[in-house]
Amino acid sequence: MDVLVTGGLGYIGSHTVVALAEAGYSPIIVDNLCNSQAWIHARLEQLAGQAIPFYRVDCTDRLALAQVFEQHPNVQAVVHFAALKAVGESTRHPLEYYQNNLGSLLAVLQAMQQQHVGILVFSSSATVYGEPEKLPVTETTPLQAPTSPYGATKAMAERIIADAVQANPQLRAMALRYFNPVGAHPSARIGELPQGTPNNLVPYMTQATRGVVPDLKIFGHDYATPDGTPLRDYFHVVDLACAHVLAIDYLAKAREGLPLQFVNVGAGTPVSVLQVVETFRQATGQPLPYRFAPRRAGDVEAIWCDATLAKNLLGWQPEYTLADALLHAWKWEQTLGEQEIPA
């Protein structure tokens, strides 16, 4: 089956392209390179051992997107990653976020409708749960008002897809609500490529260890958690990639008229920032200096998921440990140090 992967050169998209190829699917990538590098494409072909068509197309460009679908009439599924994802930036440039994230989704849905493509897997986020009252969160945990334009685009996107599915029984869709994917491919050939100073914990840690950025600042150690630092649900990006493959397998067999399915994807284990630091030190043997800093605006104290539905519906469970993920992230970071513009 041909699967169109929007944002397929990005962090999660690139790992998913490899997982799709390994599972026997034929991925086709659409990416405008606004947050990724063209050389990742060659690496994906090497890892997958097959040619992977790539189109440098902005998903908000309906005509260009329609042309890609026309060139690949056997596309039967879309995995839609293409979005802007920096929470802080979204508060400064909200219109850009609504335009890009919702414009691309609408264009993808319209193209799918025109070409009668019936399977959609969408990248949603734990951010839709806000600061939950009860933990762990299940898919029925009430959603909270989004705290950033980025979060709002995810909540709105879920609504848009639910409405599209309701109106078109042939469209079967799943919104995977990712918790905290971290790590890199075990080969260290692909991984996260943050532009500028990283916002997220693990790329900041690996860059601090390589000396690219100053020591790690832990944002707040006065939370009501066992060691005072916030709790999250970290898991390996390759396990997340596999969840997309299983989601397509599931939707391909699902009945028509199925409502939009929401599925949490996380390890289901709360881990504090200090525990991540300690696991990183043990897994890599690197000292990783840190200091405490004030809380970061918008951070929630604790969030982790109940991933039972992912297991029961998709047969998904994580294969890698957090130590694996942090070691792989560090190996990837080291390759960037060796060769900034790799072939």
Strand partners, 124: 177
Q: What is the DSSP string of 306-322?
A: --HHIIIII-----S-H
- Residue 276's H or E segment, with its range, is helix 273-284
Q: Binding mask 164-203 vs ligand NAD (x if CB under 6 A, - otherwise)?
A: --------------x--x----------------------
CA 83 vs. chain centroid, Å, equals 10
Q: Give which of ligand UD1, ligand NAD, none residue 273 binds (C-beta under 5 to 8 Å, depending on kind).
A: ligand UD1
CB 158 within 8 A of CB 115: no
Q: Per CB under 6 A, which region of 24-32, 257-265, 279-287, 334-342 contacts ligand NAD? A: 24-32
Q: Give which of ligand NAD, ligand UD1, none residue 299 binds (C-beta under 5 to 8 Å, depending on kind).
A: ligand UD1
State the Cα–Cα distance between residues 55 and 9, nearest whole angstrom: 10
Distances (CA, A) of 256 to 159, 167, 225, 260: 19, 12, 45, 11
Interface pick for ligand UD1 out of 218, 238, 243, 309 (rule CB under 6 A): 218
Q: Per CB under 6 A, which region of 7-15, 64-72, 216-224, 279-287 contacts ligand UD1? A: 216-224
Taking the alpha carbons of 148, 153, 154, 155 in that order, is the dihedral positive or negative? positive
Q: For the CB of residue 162, give the shortest distance to ligand UD1 in the complex, in Å.
A: 20
Assign 318 to helix, strand or coil. Answer: coil
Q: Binding mask 126-155 vs ligand UD1 (x if CB under 6 A, - otherwise)?
A: -x----------------------------
Q: Per CB under 6 A, which region of 28-36, 139-147, 264-272, 282-290 contacts ligand NAD? A: 28-36
Closest listed residue to residue 269, CA positions, set 235, 310, 223, 316: 235
Nearby residues of 95 by Cβ (< 8 Å), 6 or more positions away: none
Q: Binding mask 76-105 vs ligand NAD (x if CB under 6 A, - otherwise)?
A: -----xxxxx--------------x---x-
- Amino acid code (one letter) for 129: Y
Q: Is residue 266 at the binding interface for ligand NAD, with CB under 6 A as the rule?
A: no
Q: Binding mask 164-203 vs ligand UD1 (x if CB under 6 A, - otherwise)?
A: ----------------x------------------xxx--
- Phi/psi at 30 (5° precision): -125, 125
Rg, C-alpha atoms of the chain: 19
Footprint on residues 121-160 left by ligand NAD (CB under 6 A): 123, 125
Active site residue 150: yes
Q: Give which of ligand NAD, ligand UD1, none residue 204 binds (C-beta under 5 to 8 Å, depending on kind).
A: ligand UD1
Pairing between β-strand 261-265 and β-strand 216-219 as defined by DSSP bridges: unpaired
- Report the interface residues with ligand NAD, using CB under 6 A: 6-7, 9-13, 30-36, 58-60, 81-85, 100, 104, 123, 125, 178, 181
- Enumerate the active-site residues: 150
